């Protein structure tokens, strides 16, 4: 019964909206939308934000042409949930995609479906990570799951599953340019999603960048040796420390034979992941890899016997940055190809181009890699938007905008009224210089995937420009109050500090108001926890054993008894 009703509603909406379009705005004025997303791209690794690590001249072009957001964030810092929030304009607890584990519920209405119904041509190339195919696209070629860096497989709308030789970032761009140039109807507006796999783990860069990036040295973040004191226990319990949890072969490309020779123990799926990545390469790619990483291994073999724990952390951080940033070099080059094409084909002026990531990422801050936590580097995400017809070149905004807001922004830009149950706010006032019409002063966050890989405890929070009040509610019940202005590195919990009594009370009140506003409550969250824990106890959650899941449940029960 459900599907026909939704279809009817969509038809109805599209009818109403196309009438509106005709009367309010000539069809030809509807902007094109190009939504570019990379996977796990930290804002620290875009030179328009921070030029200490890498130069990204092409991504920076969007900042020069348009607006850079310094306070953009996600509602749940993990891949598929972020994408689901983007497509539905709803928080995780309402769209149902609370973690990477369960499939996306395709009965949700997404903004591509609405745009398609309203006459937009729609296409998606790259990573989606939903466990099923997307609705609302005239064309898609998506990577299965996380996808592969080399010679990747794609699930396509019309050609079944295909394997394409080459490097994923180049291939996804070729597909995108092909569609723009040859496949779309050039008389109609379009909405194109160009969604990279890079720079997701395990960071395999293009062959052409191997030599250059494996010889670079990068500055260390101030908190590389964070000891996690001063905050609640989840920071110290997480398994995402570069020294302790990043694997030697799988991540750093130390040869498994060398690990054996040096007596280095595996971390996680260390050698298996290395073997998987390596097995995907063809003969000439293997040769190139072995040559470049052979040199890295040689230097490592010489240095390792005299390395202290601190040296190992420093070495691992450098290796992490070399490979991670190497993958971004190809993203930036390909971004250049796309922007050049748009310029050459007169498509720049009336196209909204968004560059963002599905979340931020730790590049050694707090000694970490990965994301999930509400500490800035993963809670915040890069966001650059250009639209020369409407946005002032070189502008910046520090407003609290979120991935929740994209759907309504695009719909408003296209002259389409958004469904009333979407929960974001259109960014149009900010983009068009009418900031006085923007009133949001706090955002809501909720992370769920636990116990799972990286062991980041469940938490929800309110974030304002000045503070974060965070509740870790699973296992031990703990609160954290972060002072964003006074302690920007987020090293201290002020929750018990008498000076913060009033601030704390105010934030508690506002957090409850936000939970009511966004309709998150214990009953809804509990449903997701129960389903997830059943699978965890069955050993069905990636990266966590049945025993570990059971241990967490026992701990939780004993805390609740006390
Ligand atoms: C993989 C990675 C994790 C990462 C998740 C989620 N491990 O499981 O490090 O946190 O993806 O990433 S790996 O050993 O398989 O590389 S997400 O971007 O899809 O959310
Ligand atoms: Ca991601």
Determine how β-strand 383-386 pairs with β-strand 395-397.
unpaired
Q: Name the packing angle between helices 406-413 and 79-88 (round to 10°).
A: 30
Q: Which two tokens stand for residue 6?
A: 């939704």
C-alpha closest to that of 42 among 318, 363, 330? 363
- In this structure, which ligand is nearest to the CA of 81? 1
Is pLDDT above 70 for 359? yes
**Residue with the nearest Cα to atom 19 of ligand 1?**
79
Q: What pLDDT, on the 0 to 100 scale, is given for residue 29?
A: 83
Q: Which of 126, 144, 200 to mutate to test the pocket of ligand 1 (most atoms within 8 A of CB)?
A: 200
Under DSSP, is residue 524 helix (H, G, I), strand (E, B) or coil? helix
* 8 Å CB contact between 206 and 167: yes
**270 C-alpha to ligand 1 centroid (Å):** 13
Tell me what the mean pLDDT of segment 124-139 comes to.
97
Is pLDDT above 70 for 16? no
Is pLDDT above 70 for 88? yes
Q: What pLDDT, on the 0 to 100 scale, is given for residue 19?
A: 36
**357 C-alpha to ligand 2 centroid (Å):** 7
Q: How far apart are CA 443 and CA 125, in angstroms?
A: 30
> End-to-end distance of the chain based on CA atoms, in angstroms?
48
Is pLDDT above 90 for 10? no
- Per-residue CA distances from 442 to 420, 467, 509 (Å): 21, 9, 12
Instruction: Please state the atom number of ligand 1 nearest to the C-alpha of residue 78.
Output: 20
Q: DSSP of 242-288, one letter per residue?
A: HHHHS-TTTTT---HHHHHHHTPPP-TTHHHHHHHHHHTS-HHHHHH
Instruction: Please state the atom number of ligand 1 nearest to the C-alpha of residue 82.
Output: 20
Is pLDDT above 50 for 546? yes
When pLDDT is cut at 50, 70 and 90, the band that residue 131 belongs to is: very high
Longest dimension (CA), the chain: 75
Q: Which of 100, 381, 449 to mutate to test the pocket of ligand 1 (most atoms within 8 A of CB)?
A: 100
Is pLDDT above 70 for 367? yes
Q: How far apart are CA 429 and CA 465, in angstroms?
A: 19
Is pLDDT above 90 for 166? yes
Strand partners, 383: 356
Tell me what the mean pLDDT of segment 202-214 comes to.
98
Q: How far apart are CA 109 and CA 89, in angstroms?
A: 9
Instruction: Please state the atom number of ligand 1 nearest to the C-alpha of residue 542.
Output: 8
Burial (CB count <10 Å: 0-12, 13-18, 19+), residue 555:
middle
Give the rounded percent of residues in the chain with a pLDDT score beyond 90.
92
Is pLDDT above 80 for 12? no
**Residue with the nearest Cα to atom 17 of ligand 1?**
79
* 8 Å CB contact between 360 and 402: no
Instruction: Please state the atom number of ligand 1 nearest to the C-alpha of residue 129.
Output: 19
Q: What pLDDT, on the 0 to 100 scale, is given for residue 411?
A: 98
Residue whose token pair is 């398609």: 116
**Residue with the nearest Cα to atom 7 of ligand 1?**
201
Q: What pLDDT, on the 0 to 100 scale, is given for residue 560?
A: 84
* 8 Å CB contact between 111 and 406: yes
Q: What pLDDT, on the 0 to 100 scale, is given for residue 5?
A: 43
Q: Which residues of 319-354 are buried (b: 16+ CB within 10 A; e: fewer)?
A: bbbbbbbbbbbbbbbbbbebbebbeeeebbebbbbb
**205 C-alpha to ligand 2 centroid (Å):** 17
Is pLDDT above 50 for 143? yes
pLDDT (tens digit per residue) in 392-449: 999 999 999 999 999 999 999 999 999 999 999 999 999 999 999 999 999 999 999 9
Residue whose token pair is 């040769």: 287
pLDDT (tens digit per residue) in 459-486: 999 999 999 999 999 998 999 999 999 9
**42 C-alpha to ligand 2 centroid (Å):** 10
Tell me what the mean pLDDT of segment 264-293 comes to.
96
**40 C-alpha to ligand 1 centroid (Å):** 10
Is the C-alpha dihedral spanning 45, 47, 50, 52 positive or negative? positive
**Residue with the nearest Cα to atom 4 of ligand 1?**
370
Q: DSSP of 208-244, one letter per residue?
A: HHHHHHHT---PPPTTTT---TTS-HHHHH-S-BHHH
**373 C-alpha to ligand 2 centroid (Å):** 13
**79 C-alpha to ligand 1 centroid (Å):** 9
**Residue with the nearest Cα to atom 1 of ligand 1?**
201
**530 C-alpha to ligand 1 centroid (Å):** 23
Q: How far apart are CA 161 and CA 204, in angstroms?
A: 23
Average per-residue pLDDT in the chain?
Answer: 94
Domains in the chain with CATH codes? 38-203+328-433 (3.40.720.10), 211-321 (no CATH), 446-561 (no CATH)
pLDDT (tens digit per residue) in 251-271: 999 999 999 999 999 999 999
**326 C-alpha to ligand 2 centroid (Å):** 17
As for ligand 1, residues whose beta carbon falls within 6 Å of it are: 39-40, 78-79, 100, 129, 146, 200-202, 269, 273, 370, 453-454, 542
Instruction: Please state the atom number of ligand 1 nearest to the C-alpha of residue 269.
Output: 14
- What is the strand order of the sheet 153-156 is part of? 160-163, 153-156, 139-143, 121-127, 190-195, 32-38, 351-357, 383-386, 67-69, 395-397
When pLDDT is cut at 50, 70 and 90, the band that residue 14 belongs to is: very low
- Per-residue CA distances from 82 to 193, 378, 430 (Å): 15, 12, 22
When pLDDT is cut at 50, 70 and 90, the band that residue 22 belongs to is: very low
In degrees, rounded to 5, the angle at the alpha carbon of residue 165 between the alpha carbons of residues 162 and 169 is: 95
When pLDDT is cut at 50, 70 and 90, the band that residue 20 belongs to is: very low
């Amino acid at each position: 019964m459900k599907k026909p009703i939704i279809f009817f509603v969509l038809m109805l909406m599209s009818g109403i909206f196309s009438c509106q379009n005709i009367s309010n705005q000539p069809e030809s004025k509807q902007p094109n939308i190009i939504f570019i997303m990379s996977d796990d791209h930290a804002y620290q690794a875009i030179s328009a934000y921070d030029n200490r690590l890498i130069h990204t001249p092409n991504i920076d072009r969007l900042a020069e042409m348009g607006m850079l957001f310094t306070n953009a964030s996600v509602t749940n810092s993990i891949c598929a949930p972020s994408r689901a929030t983007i497509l539905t304009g709803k928080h995780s607890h309402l769209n149902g995609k609370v973690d990477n584990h369960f499939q996306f519920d395709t009965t949700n209405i997404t903004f591509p479906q609405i745009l398609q119904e309203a006459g937009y041509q729609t296409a998606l190339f790259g990573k989606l990570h939903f466990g099923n195919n997307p609705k609302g696209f005239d064309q898609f070629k998506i990577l299965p799951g996380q996808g592969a860096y080399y010679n990747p497989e794609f699930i396509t709308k019309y050609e079944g599953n295909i394997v394409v030789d080459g490097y994923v970032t180049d291939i996804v761009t070729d597909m995108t340019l092909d569609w723009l140039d040859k496949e779309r109807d050039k008389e109609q507006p379009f909405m194109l999603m160009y969604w990279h796999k890079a720079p997701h783990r395990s960071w395999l860069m293009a062959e052409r960048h191997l030599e250059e990036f494996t010889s670079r040295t990068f500055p260390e973040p101030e908190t590389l040796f964070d000891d996690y004191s001063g905050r609640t226990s989840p920071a110290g319990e997480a398994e995402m420390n570069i020294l302790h949890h990043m694997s030697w072969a799988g991540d750093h490309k130390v040869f498994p034979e060398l690990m054996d020779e040096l007596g280095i123990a595996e971390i996680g799926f260390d050698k298996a992941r290395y073997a998987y990545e390596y097995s995907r390469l063809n003969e000439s790619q293997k040769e190139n890899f072995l040559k470049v990483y052979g040199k890295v291994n040689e230097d490592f073999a010489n240095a390792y016997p005299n390395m202290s724990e601190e040296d190992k952390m420093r070495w691992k951080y450098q290796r992490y940055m070399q490979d991670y940033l190497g993958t971004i070099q190809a993203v930036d080059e390909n971004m250049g190809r796309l922007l050049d094409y748009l310029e050459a084909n007169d498509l720049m002026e009336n196209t909204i181009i968004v560059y963002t990531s599905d979340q931020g990422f730790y590049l050694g801050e707090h000694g970490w890699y990965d994301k999930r936590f509400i500490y800035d580097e993963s809670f915040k995400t890069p966001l650059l938007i250009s639209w020369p017809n409407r946005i002032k070149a070189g502008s910046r905004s520090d407003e609290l905008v979120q991935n929740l807001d994209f759907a309504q922004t695009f719909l408003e830009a296209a002259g389409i009224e958004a469904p009333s149950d979407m929960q974001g706010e259109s960014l149009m006032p900010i983009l068009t210089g009418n900031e006085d019409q923007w009133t949001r002063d706090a955002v809501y966050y909720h992370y769920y995937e636990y116990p799972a890989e990286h062991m980041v405890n469940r938490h929800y929070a309110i974030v304002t420009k000045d503070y974060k009040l965070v509740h870790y509610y699973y296992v031990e019940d703990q609160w954290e109050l972060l002072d964003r202005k006074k302690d920007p590195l987020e090293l201290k919990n002020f929750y018990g500090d008498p000076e913060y009594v009033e601030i704390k009370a105010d934030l508690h009140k506002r957090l409850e108001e936000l939970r009511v506003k966004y309709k998150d409550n214990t009953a809804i969250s509990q449903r997701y926890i129960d389903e997830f824990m059943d699978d965890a106890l069955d050993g069905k959650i990636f990266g966590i054993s049945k025993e570990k899941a059971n241990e967490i449940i026992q701990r939780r029960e004993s805390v609740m008894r006390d």
